[in-house]
Structure formats: C-alpha cells, structure tokens
Amino acid sequence: MIMMVVIRDGYLWTCHHVGLSGANGAYSGDQTGTSVDRSAAQWLNFQVGSTGLTFNAYEWVFDRAATNAFWYYMPSLMVNCSGNMLMGFSGSSPNDFIGAYHSWLFAGDSASVGPFVIQPGSINFSNINRWGDYSYTSLDPVDDWSFWTVQEHADSTQTEWNTPWSTWIIQ
C-alpha cells in the first residue's frame, strides 16, 4: 500500500513498506509471506513527463542483521527545495519495542543515510488498535529547507484508553 506521494521539481516520490527475506534484502513479494524475516521502508522516485511517469530510482531502508532484524514500516516522506529527501517511519525487532525512526537521502546520492532512532519504544505494543495512522513528514512552512516528521512509538507512560502509543515530533 502506498503511504504518501509528493511531486517536487518534476519528480514524483512515494513510499511504502515491503517484506524482505534475509540479510541481503531479497524481496519476497509482500510484507507477510512465509519467508519474510524483516521489512523495509521503501522509497521510489519517478520523473513526471508529458506522456506519463518514468522510473528513476528506489531504495529499501532495512536492517542487514543476520538474526533478530528490525522491521521498518509505515513510512512517510518529503523532499525539500534542494532535492534532499527525509523519510520517517516506525521500527521494531524481537529485542526492541516499536520506536520512531528516520533516514534521509541527499540530492544526487544513490543511498540513504540511516536509519536513525528518533525516539525508542518503551513498552510492548500488543493492543488490537491500529498502528501507523500518525506517520507524517512535511516541510517547514517558513523556510522550505527544514523537515518536520511525526512518528509513533510505543510509550509506557500512556495509559489512556489502554493504548500504549504516543507521537514524537522532531524538526
């Protein structure tokens, strides 16, 4: 499922998460297949032309650990006036509660930097309520350079409605 779409300077950017199998990042077709042992936050980039879209680039931001790999999911992204892209998302592993993460791609580079933790999770999230409704990345409305991202994390201090999650906002 596509999570967010942005058109900037003749390019369409979008993101979603995909299921992967193994430390080499083999794509298994979806996020729930039987051989999936991690997921990646994926960004895609297309050039917008008069006759349609032309594929330009993509990348999977994923954990290359041999065991207990992180799962990254529910991404959102934005591109600033210089062509740099920031992607925010959630992440967890068998040893880490759901936390808020981000990575970025500098204009002209082919590989992202990160992922980096914004706010670690502090409690197990086993609630039946939805996850990921609060992943949003935007530009600062004042300068067109700075990014803001809003990401969810599992929060042990939240007890209202028996839903242990919070949002973390960072510039």
- Residue 107 contacts by C-beta under 8 Å, 6 or more apart in sequence? 82, 83, 84
List the domain boundaries for the chain: 4-170
17-58 per-position pLDDT tens digit = 998 887 777 765 555 556 788 899 999 999 999 999 999 999
| Token duo for residue 90 | 């959630």
Structure token digits, residue 88: 């925010």
pLDDT of residue 32: 56
Q: What is the pLDDT of residue 130?
A: 67
Ramachandran sector of residue 155 (left: φ over 0; alpha: ψ -120 to 50; beta: rest): beta
- The pTM score is 0.88
Given this model, what pLDDT does residue 3 score? 83
pLDDT for position 24: 74
Q: In this predicted structure, what is the pLDDT of residue 168? A: 80
39-59 b/e with 16+ CB inside 10 Å = b?
Answer: bbbbbbbbeeeeeeeeeeeeb
Which segments of the chain have a pLDDT < 70? 27-34, 126-132, 159-163
